[in-house]
Amino acid sequence: MEASPSSAARGPRVSVARLILWGLVLAFLALMGFGLYRAQEGQIRGGLAPGFTLTTFDGRVIRSSDLKGEVVVVNFWASWCTSCGQEAQDLEAAFQQYRTSGVVFLGIDYVDTGPQARAYLQQFGISYPNGPDLGTRISQSFRIGGVPETYFLDRTGHVATVEIGPITLAEIRSILDPLVAG
């Protein structure tokens, strides 16, 4: 069985081809590894919170950079989410209670429609600022897994605690008291 005549001449070309092949395979594995890492990462649990800009339903623009030095509660919700309704009143009550302490409550409306969102806010009498998460940018930066989720940021802008699922007034107070004090 004779080798094909140009196999010798194909020497250097074959090694380039091999290099490319290895490169592609390694790139593919790296990509899969990255994807897996991201899928398993879950929500941000600590460290500096991602910056964001929220335009509320009333047209106000709130930037996360303006909130330095404050304790911030960031709550992700949606009008079509039934368990969000469970915590809505507790959140509003907490907002009223901590008003004097200067805790900032922000509601971020995830993938929702304007009229339904406003109806939801009216139904539960929410008075703290709420705005739509345009392009799902904010929820992607926080890497939320669903709604409702509540992120508590301390005065330095770091994520102190994350609550997945509906939160109660008692839980809010137990988290906020040390943050407001310290």
Cβ proximity of 141 and 130 under 8 Å: no
Please state the separation of Cα 117 from the chain's center in Å.
19
Q: Report how far residue 74's alpha carbon sits from residue 142's, in angstroms, rounded to the nearest whole number.
A: 10
- Sketch the per residue contact string, 120 through 159, with another protein: x for CB under 8 A, - otherwise: ------------x-xxxx--x-------------------
Q: Report how far residue 95's alpha carbon sits from residue 90's, in angstroms, rounded to the nearest whole number.
A: 9
The nearest distance, CB 46 to another protein, in angstroms, is 21
- Sketch the per residue contact string, 67 through 106, with another protein: x for CB under 8 A, - otherwise: -----------x-x--------------------------
User: What are the structure tokens assigned to 45, written together?
Assistant: 């649990």
The reply to whether omega before 129 is within 30° of 0 (cis) is no
Q: Which residues of this chain interact with another protein, rule CB under 8 A?
A: 1-7, 14, 18, 21-22, 25, 28-29, 31-36, 38-40, 78, 80, 111-113, 116, 132, 134-137, 140
